[in-house]
């Protein structure tokens, strides 16, 4: 290979790196910084479960092969100004174009620090008072536990909690898409707990 060709190749590679933002030129890397969501909203909320650890297997009790109960969840470090909370649980490993939605629950009061095991499958909840549940990909209201195809490997279930700056003016029964649309522009912070399961 000639010296001229080598030099030209080096220039093309350097240009590609610069175009992709691969060089540190003091630019704001807010969107890709550690602790940021894809939308640039700070992942400020800590969300945990006493039933399983981060990236650990979800016990059978909370799956479609068991009692299919929603797992206990706890959260802390809500952003200042949080007026309401919402939670979506989905599985991006499902063999389809969009993640399979297992749970949609919203209008959770910021005074609550979590949810107990086995939230009833009701659109309007008495506890927490005023909370509502939406429709999962199963076509039902409330939580539907992991039930991946047999032999499909390990699936990852994302319990994503959103802190909102204002109460949502919505009805019960929303699906994930409708809830995300209603929350647009109102998300102060997020948290994510990932559990796994395979059959």
pLDDT averaged per 10 residues, the chain (length 199): 38 37 32 43 88 98 98 97 98 97 98 97 96 98 97 97 98 98 97 98
In the chain, how many H helices and how many E strands? Answer: 2, 9
Q: What is the pLDDT of residue 44?
A: 87
Angle at 110 between CA 105 and CA 111, to 5 degrees: 120
Q: What is the pLDDT of residue 21?
A: 37
Q: What is the pLDDT of residue 31?
A: 30
The residues spanned by each domain of the chain are: 32-197
Q: What is the pLDDT of residue 34?
A: 34
Q: Which positions ≥6 away from 22 have C-beta within 8 Å?
A: none
- Torsion over CA: 136, 133, 106, 65 (sign): negative
Give the C-alpha distances (Å, rounded to integers) separating 90 from 67, 128, 129, 178: 19, 22, 24, 15
Q: How many Å apart are CA 143 and CA 87, to the nearest integer?
A: 11
Q: How many Å apart are CA 79 and CA 187, to the nearest integer?
A: 10
CATH class of segment(s) 32-197: alpha beta
What is this structure's pTM? 0.80
* The pairing of beta strand 100-108 with beta strand 132-133: antiparallel
Q: How many Å apart are CA 36 and CA 113, to the nearest integer?
A: 22
Give the C-alpha distances (Å, rounded to integers) separating 154 from 30, 92, 162, 170, 182: 31, 11, 25, 35, 32
Question: Cβ(177)–Cβ(97) under 8 Å?
Answer: no
**CB half-sphere exposure, 91, CA atoms < 13 A:** 30
Q: What is the pLDDT of residue 131?
A: 98
**Residue 45 token pair:** 């909320």
């Amino acid at each position: 290979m000639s010296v001229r060709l080598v030099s030209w190749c080096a220039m093309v590679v350097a240009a590609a790196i610069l175009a992709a933002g691969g060089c540190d030129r003091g630019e704001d890397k807010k969107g890709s910084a550690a602790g940021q969501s894809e939308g640039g909203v700070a992942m400020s909320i800590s969300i945990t479960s006493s039933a399983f650890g981060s990236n650990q297997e979800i016990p059978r009790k909370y799956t479609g092969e068991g009692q299919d109960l929603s797992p206990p969840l706890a959260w802390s470090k809500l952003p200042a100004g949080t007026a309401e909370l919402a939670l979506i649980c989905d599985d991006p490993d499902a063999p389809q174009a969009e993640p399979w939605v297992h749970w949609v629950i919203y209008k959770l009061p910021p005074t609550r620090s979590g949810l107990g095991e086995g939230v009833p499958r009701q659109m309007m909840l008495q506890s927490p008072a005023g909370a509502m549940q939406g429709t999962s990909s199963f076509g039902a209201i409330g939580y539907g536990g992991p039930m991946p195809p047999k032999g499909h490997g390990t699936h990852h279930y994302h319990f994503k909690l959103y802190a909102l700056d204002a109460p949502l003016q919505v009805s019960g029964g929303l699906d994930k898409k409708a809830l995300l649309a209603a929350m647009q522009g109102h998300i102060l912070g997020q948290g994510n707990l990932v559990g796994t399961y395979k059959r």
